[in-house]
Amino acid sequence: MTSKNQIQGVAAQAPAIDVVIMAAGKGTRMKSRLPKVLHRLAGRPLLQHVLDTAADLQARKVVVITGHGAIEVEAACAGAAGAVAEFALDFVRQEPQLGTGHAVQQAVPVLADDGVVVVLSGDVPLTQSDTLFHLIKASGGTKLALLTLEQANPAGYGRIVRAASAGAGAEGVVQAIVEHKDASVEERQITEIYSGIMAVPAAQLKRWLARLDNQNAQGEYYLTDIVKFAVADGVEVVAYKITDAVQVAGVNSPVQLAELERAYQLGQAHRLMEAGVRLADPARLDVRGDLLCAHDVSIDVNCVFMGQVSLGEGVSIGANCVVANAVIEAGAVIHPFTHIDGETLGVRVGAGALVGPFARLRPGAVLGAEVHIGNFVEVKNSTLAKGAKANHLAYLGDATVGERVNYGAGSITANYDGANKHRTVIEADVHVGSNCVLVAPITLGAGGTVGGGSTLTKDTPAGALSVARGKQVTIANWSRPQKAPRG
């Protein structure tokens, strides 16, 4: 064996991480038909956030424990996890729900003995993977590690009961977790609480789970009872204490969901500002996906970014814009109230382009450099070359538009014949007057001019003036009809 292989051999000895996610609870307080863990935070189901964290941990296996709404929950994460996750995904059902210990017992048959099990909840979306890495490190593959924190108001939580402290400043070793409803008056004074998250060697976990009973105030099988078994077995119990309550906050109600959404969004806003983005108000930004920004980007209030969005250097986004799945190149200006949604095809806005206010860019809109799209203009599946302009009240669908084309107010590409979509080609330097209907398929030759109000059904030659409308008739000295006098 070479020394390089030996080093890899040592690294490979770190125990594998298997994640168990409890997601069987009903979520009564959400007052919703949708299972709680499928409610969305930053555009993604709560459970998806937890699955993404498991992926960050490079988990070997993830076991999701389902119960209420199991079919819906399983369908939702099987679809979403498949694409990104490297881990093996297992579902186990917990019916009925007899407590957190009973929940994890259901996972025992699918858990290997050689791993470290990290227990998470599907309704706790904002735990950072760094925190969990610390917790796993604290477990060291042999100890029971609990994620804890101090809560000024600990009512409702499991309390961390410690032995009398060994010396000044030192905390006594963890002896047990006692649930609020089972706690004595003295124990209720304890402010260190169990977060609901632990890392535990799988083989020990299995042994301890087998010993649980439900002789307690709630008649439930408490996962937290394994702490006293660990102590009895002489296995060290360690607490990894954090201060950031958001990381372990669960969602039980719409109010808590909204609070976590704001906490998450404020975090994103701060990350963007630290990267140099100027936000008019960090409290009025929503990023529900990935927003990538170059230098000197500015974003006004009430903008929503969804899916994958990238903003080039110096891009300016006006107030009240919704931008999804789009690439906006350097120096482009998106004026207020613009809606851009590339869905799966994407939208591209070229360098220095001006879009809006009140513009709508739909999937497949590809705008070249310095294109202008003005108010109440809709663009779908169309390419506009450099310098083309459609400034007012117009529709461009399935069109290829050449450089410097001027597309008049109120003009429409009639791209749909009731059965099929057809293309409109407008070559470079064409001037389309106001209120024209271009019945596709049709090609307007380069440099041509189309008279306002024309309905074109045939191709037009390059350089020509094409007019297709009723001829104007003038009758001199026309006297309008008069009303007959009364009586």
**Nearest-angstrom CA–CA distance, 158 and 135:** 18
**Nearest-angstrom CA–CA distance, 337 and 270:** 24
**Smaller CB distance to ligand UD1: residue 105 or 460?**
105
Residues paired with 355 in a beta bridge: 334, 373
**Smaller CB distance to ligand UD1: residue 225 or 261?**
225
**Smaller CB distance to ligand UD1: residue 156 or 172?**
156
**Smaller CB distance to ligand UD1: residue 23 or 174?**
23
**Smaller CB distance to ligand UD1: residue 252 or 375?**
252
**Nearest-angstrom CA–CA distance, 290 and 307:** 6
Give me the least distance between CB of 230 and ligand UD1, in Å please. 15
Q: Which amino acid is at 205?
A: L
- Burial of 79-92, coded b for 16+ CB within 10 Å and e otherwise, reads ebbeeebebebbbb
* Contact of 52 with 11, CB cutoff 8 Å: no
Give me the least distance between CB of 106 and ligand UD1, in Å please. 9
**Smaller CB distance to ligand UD1: residue 22 or 89?**
22
At 47, list the tokens. Answer: 């459970």
Q: Treating both helix axes as pointing N-terminal to C-terminal, what angle do 129-139 and 46-56 enclose, rounded to 10 degrees? A: 50
* Contact of 140 with 251, CB cutoff 8 Å: no
Give me the least distance between CB of 179 and ligand UD1, in Å please. 5
Tokens 């084309």 map to which residue?
405
Burial category of 138 from C-beta neighbours within 10 Å (exposed 0-12, middle 13-18, buried 19 and up): middle
Q: What angle do CA 164, 208, 133 make, to 5 degrees?
A: 75
Cα four-point dihedral sign 213, 214, 215, 216: positive
Query: In the complex, which residues of this chain contact ligand UD1 (CB under 6 A)?
Result: 22-25, 65, 94, 97-100, 102-103, 121-123, 157-158, 177, 179, 193-196, 222-224, 250
List 134, 392, 422, 431, catalytic entry: 392
Give me the least distance between CB of 208 and ligand UD1, in Å please. 13
**Nearest-angstrom CA–CA distance, 283 and 69:** 34
* Contact of 388 with 403, CB cutoff 8 Å: yes
Give me the least distance between CB of 127 and ligand UD1, in Å please. 12
Give me the least distance between CB of 331 and ligand UD1, in Å please. 47
Give me the least distance between CB of 395 and ligand UD1, in Å please. 49
Query: What separation in angstroms does the CA of 281 have from each of 46, 257, 317, 439, 451?
Result: 26, 21, 13, 46, 47
At 265, list the tokens. Answer: 């969004």
Q: What angle do CA 252, 256, 259 make, to 5 degrees?
A: 160
**Nearest-angstrom CA–CA distance, 409 and 375:** 10
Check if 392 is active-site.
yes
**Smaller CB distance to ligand UD1: residue 156 or 461?**
156
Give me the least distance between CB of 18 and ligand UD1, in Å please. 17
**Smaller CB distance to ligand UD1: residue 196 or 408?**
196
Question: What DSSP state is assigned to residue 465?
Answer: E
Which helix (H) or strand (E) is 257 found in, with range? helix 254-274
List the one residue out of 410, 402, 405 whose CA is nearest residue 437.
410
Q: Which amino acid is at 284?
A: R
Active site (catalytic) residues:
392
